[in-house]
Amino acid sequence: MHYTYLDTAIGRLLLAGAADGLHHLRFDQPDRDAVIAPDWRREDDGLHDALAQLREYFAGERLGFELALAPRGTPFRLAVWRQLARIPYGTTISYGELARRIGKPAASRAVGAANGANPLPIIVPCHRVIGASGRLTGFGGGLPAKQWLLDHEQRVLATPPHRRAS
On whether residue 164 sits in a domain, the answer given is no
Nearest to 98 by CA among 90, 109, 89: 109
In a domain, 63, yes or no: no
Choose the final residue of a domain: 17, 33, 58. Answer: 58
Amino acid 45: pLDDT:
80
Q: Are residue 81 and residue 23 in the same domain, yes or no?
A: no
pLDDT for 141: 85
Based on the structure, what is the number of domains in the chain?
Answer: 2
Per-residue pLDDT in tens (0 to 9) along the chain, 166 residues = 999 999 999 999 999 999 999 999 999 765 555 578 889 999 888 799 999 999 999 999 999 999 999 999 999 999 999 999 999 999 999 999 999 999 999 998 999 999 999 999 999 999 999 988 888 888 888 899 999 999 999 999 998 775 555 4
pLDDT on residue 117: 94
Do 98 and 133 belong to one domain? Answer: yes
Which of the residues are catalytic? 126
pLDDT in tens, 110-131: 999 999 999 999 999 999 999 8
Report the CATH number at residue 125. Answer: 1.10.10.10
67 found inside a domain: no
CATH number where 32 lies = 3.30.160
In this prediction, residue 138 carries a pLDDT of 82
Q: Which domain holds residue 97?
A: 75-158
Tell me whether residue 50 is in a domain: yes
Judgement on whether residues 81 and 149 belong to the same structural domain of the protein: yes
What does pTM read for this prediction?
0.90
Distance in angstroms (rounded) separating the CA atoms of residues 146 and 139: 6
CA pair distance 59, 9, nearest whole angstrom: 10
Residue 166 domain-assigned (yes or no):
no
- pLDDT, residue 163, reads 57
Q: Whole-angstrom Cα distance, residue 3 to residue 6? A: 10
Residues 88 and 53 in one domain: no
Same domain membership, residue 127 and residue 83: yes
Query: What is the pLDDT at residue 132?
Result: 85
